[in-house]
Amino acid sequence: MLWFCGQIVFFSIIFGNVDRIGDWTKWEVVLLVGTHQMIAQLFQAFFFVNVANIPELVRTGKLDSLLVLPIDSQFAVSTKQFGLDSIVNAALGGAVVCISLSRLGVVPNP
């Protein structure tokens, strides 16, 4: 979350001195940063934690119990646990996306 806040501050400083970078406005860049935060944190919450844990599952022999489950073994291994802290960070990114969309005047159509 500190890195995300640092990115927002970095672009706020830049856009404090200029109105545009190429064709990008401040809120378009904030939308991009917020979208990246949301996607990266969802990936980390559901997949990265589990992929990093595969060597431990092999070392302890717990991978065998996942391989015999009646579901796809890759799915079972990659979704065994999730990081709640990353979900909170993804929600923060979602809030930034909503704020930037409202500042850009984008209204969702039904």
**pTM for the whole structure:** 0.78
15: in domain:
no
Give the total number of structural domains in the chain.
1
84: in domain:
yes
3-state secondary structure at position 25? strand
6: in domain:
no
12-21 pLDDT, tens digit per residue, is 899 999 999 9
Res. 39: pLDDT tops 80 = yes
49-86 pLDDT, tens digit per residue, is 888 888 998 999 888 888 888 999 888 888 888 888 88
Question: Residue 67: which domain range?
Answer: 29-104
33: in domain:
yes
52: in domain:
yes
Q: How far from the centroid of its chain's Cα atoms is residue 87's Cα?
A: 8
96: in domain:
yes
Find all residues with CB under 8 Å of 29, minimum gap 6, and list them: 11, 15, 21
